[in-house]
Amino acid sequence: MSKLILAAERVRRARLLIQKARDLPVPDQAEAGKYNFSYVAQVKAFLQDARDLVKYISKTPSATVEIKQQVSQILEEADRANQEILH
């Protein structure tokens, strides 16, 4: 059986994944720069993992208003990071 991860820990891990996506080194221009398929796939995977960690938290009855706000901030931050990194 998998281990239960608390909402606060999920929020923390999601933020770390978004930061990993931002810190991923952009390949040089000889490898197509930031349009390198491998680079794009890695960035999208980090951001999708971050979204997946928190997407159901707001639907749980035990989620506080503060946690729900943090979840919405993370979802917005993941979208913003996608725009900033890849476009």
Structurally, the chain folds into a number of domains equal to 1
Q: What is the mean pLDDT of residues 6-28?
A: 94
Q: Is residue 1 part of a domain?
A: no
Q: What is the mean pLDDT of residues 30-36?
A: 69
Cβ atoms of residues 12 and 57 within 8 Å: no
Q: What is the mean pLDDT of residues 57-73?
A: 93
Reported confidence tier of residue 49, pLDDT bands at 50, 70, 90: very high
Q: Is residue 73 part of a domain?
A: yes
Q: Is residue 2 part of a domain?
A: no
| Predicted pLDDT of residue 59 | 93
Reported confidence tier of residue 2, pLDDT bands at 50, 70, 90: low
- The amino acid that residue 60 corresponds to is T
Average pLDDT, whole number, for the chain?
91
pLDDT for 80 beyond 80: yes
In which domain, by residue range, is 80 found? 7-86
Confidence (pTM): 0.88
How far apart CA 48 and CA 78 sit, in angstroms, is 8
Q: Is residue 56 part of a domain?
A: yes
Q: Is residue 57 part of a domain?
A: yes
